[in-house]
Structure 1
Amino acid sequence: MNYETARKILIDQTLTTEDYPDSLLMRMKQGKPPVPGQITSILLALKVVFEALKEASTLDRDLAYALFELSIKTQQLFAGGRKVGVDWPPLLKEDLLRISLAAESIFSGKWYTPPSSGLGG
């Protein structure tokens, strides 16, 4: 995956129009889980964008907004869904944390990894 493809994937995942019924934000707004492989694709795209921009001093507005939406809006939708009884997949909370950390990494230029869960292994 190249930078342009990764950038497009990230932006497309935040679109909430009928043209993008399976975007992550659209699905979460509807109380639906991500489609299989969706989180993996987003995380891969985030890593590609990080590698391409780690030395950059600026980000374009569309990408920055998509990173915000993927890191903050998804957390809000997750919490809101939980309040009204949405039964999210068991690992979605952790996946959203990974997305947030990857977005933070893009802003900072330093790759962050989630803390260990402490579950052994």
Structure 2
Amino acid sequence: MDFQTARQFLFHQTIQPQEGQEESFYSRLRQGQPPIPGQVTSLLLALKVVYEGLQNVPALDKDLVQALFILSYESRQLFEAGQKAGVIWPPLLDDDLKRIAAAARSIIKGSWG
């Protein structure tokens, strides 16, 4: 996966779903549905590629920051709201959301981990 593909993937999974794509990560969580198999792995890979591609960039663009915010904060809020509403999430989704948030934070900080 190259930088542009990774960046577009993050947008399609959060703020700019592709037309006819009801299966974006964010939209599934909003509907109280778990991510589709492989979706979290693809998100983590995209986040790592974006991180590596932004190593020498002094500032992040607003759209990317919005996508990172959705992935790191709003996804967690939807997960917790779903739990309170009785949604049965996959057992590893909590840990997956922590890994996604850590990767998003790494992009913002400019250092991995």
CA–CA distance in 2 between the matches of 1:39 and 1:94? 11
Q: How does 1:52-91 map to 2 (within 5 A)?
A: 52-91=53-92
Give, in angstroms, the shift of residue 16 of structure 1.
7.3
Q: 1:7·1:49 contact (CA, 8 Å) conserved in 2?
A: yes
Q: Which residue of 1 aligns with 2:4?
A: 4
Range with bigger deviation, 8-17 or 19-28: 8-17
Shift of 1:21: 0.4
Bigger fraction of residues in helix: 2
Q: Percent identity?
A: 53
Name the SS for the 1:59 alignment partner. Answer: coil
The TM-score normalised by the length of structure 1 is 0.88
String of CA shifts for 1:27-79, please: whole Å, max 9, x gaps.
Answer: 01111000010000000000000001022111111111000100000000000
Q: Distance in 1 between matches of 2:15 and 2:61?
A: 17
Which protein is bigger by CA-based radius of gyration?
Answer: 1
Q: Contact 1:13 / 1:23 at 8 angstroms: preserved in 2?
A: yes
TM-score (ref. length: structure 2): 0.94
Unaligned runs of 5+ in 1: 113-121
Aligned residues: 112
Moved over 2 A (4+): 15-20
